[in-house]
Structure 1
Amino acid sequence: MMARGDVEKIEANGKLKIHVANSMLGDNVQVEADLVVLAVGMVPNSADGELIRELHDSRHQAETSESSQVRETSAARAEELLKHEGTEILNLEYRQGPDLPTLKYGFPDSPFICFPYESRRTGVYAAGTVHAPMDAVQAAEDGLGAAMKAVQCIEMAKRGEAVHPRAGDTGYPDFFLQRCTQCKRCTEECPFGTLNEDEKGTPEFFPLRCRRCGICMGACPERIVNFQDYSVLMVAEMIKAFEVPEDYEEKPRIVALMCENDALPALETAAANGATWNPWTRIIPVRCLGSMNIVWLAEALSRGVDGVILIGCKFGDDYQCHYVRGSELANTRLDNVGETLERLALEPERVKLVELSHDEFERIPTILDEFAEELDEMGPNPLKGF
């Protein structure tokens, strides 16, 4: 007998009685058997680098913090994470932990949809059953693919180029450390561990780890991180270059910041298929929504732009962001922006974030047109003309 279902329990009563729920028959089933063979799940031999780092940080705070409450909380957290002590495997010298970040069941975190061999540590590739559950033949093929990716990474590193997704990019972020406040946002938010810290908390840049996503640029409140060909000032100047109609013209102006990895290709696909959308919209491509600096929103709204829409990759458990956490980080920053807009007597709805995958290009006209209608109902930006 072959059946699919969830085994709730097995009872021994002369024979073995198996209780199966959610079976293909539609009912709970009880089956008597002489022998029961249970499938053993594959569990990778891995370590959670981020939790190991948190264990070390909690111990440090428990020993050095001036606040008794912080010391107690940190000591309790360190006790919870004690099981991760001594589990290091790779012993990487990364601020974010000595091993690969994990996603589920101990398997390494990775943007699998776009880069199946990639991990969040540049030049480190997981293969075989460490990568995902697979049989021997699949593991051999997986190892071959990872080896080819490693060769590609070595060749590109020799030329000073970034690996995917911005393959071939030779630019690097420049840090004006004289103005650094050691807030640690860049070192903590970088999904790839590009930045370590010195004893004071000042970021230390490792160029071979960098993917050129610009998330550190978006994270910095002091705007001290920039690329030669992509900077906070450059995008701010693009926003200033737009003509903003006067309120009596009844033509709202909308700025759309679109991720170059999924949202912008979706827009181009929609245009190639003959789609049209609201002409009030002006498009600015960004490397990743995570590179969005709050200054851009302030610049746009202070100039009288009626609304800003951010369109990027999907985030969450089944994220599709090429840079892992970019869209999620942008969404977190917008929570703080909403409070600021309310203090300025501006509706928080004037700034909106939309998740979009490349194959959802048909949604582009609807997204932009509906946002334009919402702004039309709200009325012109009260800062227009100042």
Structure 2
Amino acid sequence: MGAALKAIQCVEMVSVGKAVHPRAGDQSYPEFFMQRCTQCKRCTEECPFGAINEDEKANPLPNPTRCRRCGVCMGACPERIISFKNYSVGMIGNMIKSINVPDEYDEKPRILVLACENDAYPAIDMAGIERLSYNPWVRFLPVRCLGSMNLVWMADALSKGIDGILLLGCRHGKDYQCHFIKGSELADIRMSKIKETLDRLVLESDRVRLEQIAITDYSRIPEILDSFAEKLNSLGPNPYKGY
């Protein structure tokens, strides 16, 4: 059924000269707050679909007909000037800040899972449908693609007192399954910068982990979550709890 709907969408979108993308029905495009742009070129270089060119002043010049709304440009921008009407750094940041975190006297860890909405989140959904049990202190937050992950989310979550962050994304590499080609790969590359954030907060690097998963791997969800929870338990609570 999904393949049939995608084929219908492909015919309809191509006939009007627009890109086909996994977010069926989403007609939003990235918006740029150009006053703060530093012309770093990260958005133009990291866009998997070549949807961002440059104008004569080296400013980003979006090409909506190639855009697939993955948000990789949003995650790439160090100045956070890129957003969508229905998806932005601030929007996800507010969701993270609204997560209830047990205080330092309550031996209940809080784990945040940022899950790719294409493979990881459906796999989590399937685990629920199959009534598989996993650690109850996990809170899930779907993102368009792990490539859209902005480092400020890590800082917000950890400084709030969340004990650990698990990034669940599509497989990348030779047999990649990323719906946006290299989103998961970019997230993996950015893990080194996440370590810098952790060092700045004087926190252990093991508090953030990246896992690759296919939608058919839903049976692995409990093992992945429980294993991460055990690791966090050995590290102890986030020292920022209660602040």
Q: Contact 2:101 / 2:110 at 8 angstroms: preserved in 1?
A: yes
The number of residues matched between the two structures is 240
Q: Contact 1:270 / 1:364 at 8 angstroms: preserved in 2?
A: yes
Q: Contact 1:156 / 1:163 at 8 angstroms: preserved in 2?
A: no
- Please report the RMSD computed on the Cα atoms of aligned residues, expressed in angstroms: 1.9
> 1:307-363, CA deviations, whole angstroms, 9 ceiling, x for partnerless residues?
010000001111100000000101111111113312321001101100001111000
CA distance in 1, matches of 2:136, 2:127: 15
- With normalisation by structure 2, the TM-score equals 0.94
AA of the residue aligned to 2:89 = V
**Structure 1 match to 2:121:** 264
**Structure 1 match to 2:157:** 300
> 1:1-40, CA deviations, whole angstroms, 9 ceiling, x for partnerless residues?
xxxxxxxxxxxxxxxxxxxxxxxxxxxxxxxxxxxxxxxx
Cα distance change, pair 149–352 in 1 and its aligned pair in 2 (3 A): same
Q: How does 1:148-163 map to 2 (within 5 A)?
A: 151-155=11-15, 157=17, 163=20
Q: Contact 1:263 / 1:357 at 8 angstroms: preserved in 2?
A: yes
Q: Contact 2:21 / 2:69 at 8 angstroms: preserved in 1?
A: no
Matched, 1:245 2:102: yes
Q: Contact 2:158 / 2:164 at 8 angstroms: preserved in 1?
A: yes
CA distance in 1, matches of 2:79, 2:16: 32
SS at match of 1:249: coil
User: Which of 346, 349, 374 is 2:206 aligned to?
Assistant: 349
Q: Contact 1:183 / 1:201 at 8 angstroms: preserved in 2?
A: no
User: Which of 227, 232, 237 is 1:380 aligned to?
Assistant: 237
Q: Contact 1:173 / 1:212 at 8 angstroms: preserved in 2?
A: yes
**Structure 1 match to 2:54:** 197
Q: Contact 1:288 / 1:312 at 8 angstroms: preserved in 2?
A: yes
Q: How does 1:10-89 map to 2 (within 5 A)?
A: none
Percent identity between matched residues is 58
AA of the residue aligned to 1:154 = V
**Structure 2 match to 1:212:** 69
AA of the residue aligned to 1:335 = S
CA distance in 1, matches of 2:128, 2:53: 43
CA distance in 2, matches of 1:340, 1:248: 26
Cα offset, 1:156, TM superposition: 5.7
- With normalisation by structure 1, the TM-score equals 0.60
Cα offset, 1:150, TM superposition: 6.1
User: Which of 171, 174, 187 is 2:44 aligned to?
Assistant: 187
Long gaps (5+) in structure 1: 1-113, 119-144
Q: Contact 1:156 / 1:168 at 8 angstroms: preserved in 2?
A: no
Matched, 1:318 2:178: no
Q: Contact 1:270 / 1:362 at 8 angstroms: preserved in 2?
A: yes
User: Which of 161, 167, 170 is 2:27 aligned to?
Assistant: 170
Q: How does 1:228-243 map to 2 (within 5 A)?
A: 228-243=85-100
AA of the residue aligned to 2:37 = C
Q: Contact 1:290 / 1:327 at 8 angstroms: preserved in 2?
A: yes
> 1:236-256, CA deviations, whole angstroms, 9 ceiling, x for partnerless residues?
000111111112101111110
CA distance in 2, matches of 1:190, 1:340: 24
Q: Contact 1:217 / 1:226 at 8 angstroms: preserved in 2?
A: yes
CA distance in 2, matches of 1:223, 1:363: 34
Q: Contact 1:193 / 1:209 at 8 angstroms: preserved in 2?
A: yes
SS at match of 1:258: strand
CA distance in 2, matches of 1:232, 1:344: 20
Long gaps (5+) in structure 2: none
**Structure 2 match to 1:338:** 195
**Structure 2 match to 1:95:** none
SS at match of 2:35: helix
User: Which of 121, 135, 142 is 1:285 aligned to?
Assistant: 142
CA distance in 1, matches of 2:155, 2:187: 15
